[in-house]
Structure 1
Amino acid sequence: MERWRGKHALVTGASAGIGFAIAEGLARAGVNVFACARNVSTLEGLAGSLPPNSGKVFPLKADLSKENEIVDLFKTIQTQCGHVDILVNNVGLSLFGGLDSQSTTEWRLMLDVNIMTAAICTKETLKLLDEDKVPSGHIININSAEWDPTYEGLNFCRGTKEMMAALTKALHTELTKKKRKIRVTSICPGLVASSVIDNLTNCFPDITALSCQDVANGVLYVLSVPEHVVITELTMLAQG
């Protein structure tokens, strides 16, 4: 992780759960973190609780389901430091309901949060890296491991995760063809024990859950491998 010390990262959905653990882990590793969420009170506390030699945490309030707020977020980043070297697309939304009963409003919201937010953040990150002529960087998409479609109520959300996997692979291919040394990784954890997603853990009472810290450690791992190594996908499951 030493080569990332002093660099800048953006973590979306960082106020709690997996996002908070990732933001804290990056900061402790010496990375300066723009930590984005709708509620930034917990992030303000994190910024003042880190040990010496940690990176700085910059809490940024934004509703990432709204494109104009994403664009404003990146304008703030550009003003403060020019670009981010690491993007962690973590923010996500799971609304429980069957494919035969959910409203189109719920579907559009999951598409906006789970897909459009990540796509826009990725585009804006690449734009700023290009403008600053930065040759390398890392884009990490927090996705999910496959789950059994017979568990009703989560299948539209699962569809957005499949789309995220396809977009991650496509982005890796595009950047490789353009000879841009920007790594792209999809991290796919199984069930994670988090207050943010208690409704999901209740759906799978027989499955051992990962911790948020487990996922954060996965992020640090893919960032720490040698520069010539690209981990395109990391699947993380709990050992029963």
Structure 2
Amino acid sequence: MTSKLFDLTGRVALVTGSSRGIGHAIARALAEAGATVVLNSRDRLALDTAQASLADTGAPIFQSRFDVTDPDAVADAVATIEAEIGPIDILVNNAGLQRRMPLEDFPLEDWKRVLATNVDAPFIVGQAVARRMIPRGRGRIINICSVTSELGRATITPYATSKGAVKMLTKSMCAEWARYGLNINGIGPGWFRTELNKALTESEEFNAWLVQRAPMGRWGELEELGGAAVFLASDASSYVNGHILYVDGGVTAVV
């Protein structure tokens, strides 16, 4: 049956930055598809709240508190997850940081922090997990990209730069690791109502612009990312590799 292709029962999924927003929505979708989900954040209280909110899925939900930009902390966390919960079958590199400011005023330290979280972390976590997936000959890595992997926008140049880099990191991971049985793909969300986009959701000017810009004429709803995540995490995408799936209401399809 086709439905079995999307079944994640028995698989362990680590989702970084999953206490809220896009990461939390993806964690819920994977849990509802049967996966054992490991939530990640640096905030213990946020993790406790997120874990409790997923109890209704009926799936085993765990948490792992670590800084995705710290290689030693990542290595320790991955080792602990594999020893105590099970081999990581699915990794979703979602943790992200946004700062809004005209580029000419952007502080170098903030630039470095955005790139460390958005680019260094997918490399650090991806490498740590892939080193364990490769000997097993299987594994799914999903990197969260963005429409700004393709499109520039004023006041978020560091973010757009980082997401362009994540797109190419995804393709390069495929070039390196597909031969070992790993599938590495990306999801490129359009505009969704999240904490990172609070400045935009509260702007009448931006809301009017988005309605005109997006062919579907609206914001995305977080649950609309779930299907893409389950697809890329499951056997349904067995021959999909190095691909960025844009979930953006058509924004990247038009000028």
Shorter-chain TM-score tier: 0.7 to 0.9
1:238 counterpart letter in structure 2: G
TM-score (structure 1 length as normaliser)? 0.88
Tell whether the 8 Å contact from 1:46 to 1:57 is kept in structure 2 after alignment.
Answer: no
Q: Which residue of 2 aligns with 1:238?
A: 249
Tell whether the 8 Å contact from 1:6 to 1:55 is kept in structure 2 after alignment.
Answer: no
1:170 aligns with 2:178: no
Tell whether the 8 Å contact from 2:6 to 2:230 is kept in structure 1 after alignment.
Answer: no
1:218 aligns with 2:218: no
Measure how far apart 1:211 and its partner are: 1.6
* Cα deviation digits, residues 2-32 of structure 1 (max 9, x gap): 5521110100000000111111111121101
Q: Which residue of 1 aligns with 2:101?
A: 97
1:187 counterpart letter in structure 2: I
2:190 counterpart letter in structure 1: G
Q: Which residue of 1 aligns with 2:188?
A: 188
Runs of at least 4 residues of structure 1 off by over 4 A? none
Tell whether the 8 Å contact from 1:28 to 1:51 is kept in structure 2 after alignment.
Answer: no
Measure how far apart 1:117 and its partner are: 0.7
Q: How does 1:1-240 map to 2 (within 5 A)?
A: 3-48=7-52, 49-51=54-56, 54-130=58-134, 133-146=135-148, 149=152, 151-176=153-178, 179-202=179-202, 204-205=206-207, 206-207=209-210, 208-224=218-234, 226=236, 228-230=238-240, 232-238=243-249
Measure how far apart 1:224 and its partner are: 3.6
Give distance in 1, aligned partners of 2:119 and 2:13. Answer: 20
Aligned pairs, number? 234
Tell whether the 8 Å contact from 2:8 to 2:30 is kept in structure 1 after alignment.
Answer: no
Give distance in 1, aligned partners of 2:95 and 2:138. Answer: 23
Tell whether the 8 Å contact from 2:142 to 2:233 is kept in structure 1 after alignment.
Answer: no
Q: What is the DSSP-based 3-state SS (H/G/I as helix, E as strand, rest coil) of the residue aligned with 1:100?
A: helix
Consecutive unaligned residues in structure 1, runs of 5 or more: none
Tell whether the 8 Å contact from 1:190 to 1:236 is kept in structure 2 after alignment.
Answer: yes
Structure with more helix by fraction: 2
TM-score (structure 2 length as normaliser)? 0.83
Percent of counterpart pairs with the same letter? Answer: 25
Give distance in 2, aligned partners of 1:80 and 1:200. Answer: 41
Tell whether the 8 Å contact from 2:19 to 2:50 is kept in structure 1 after alignment.
Answer: no
Measure how far apart 1:192 and its partner are: 1.0
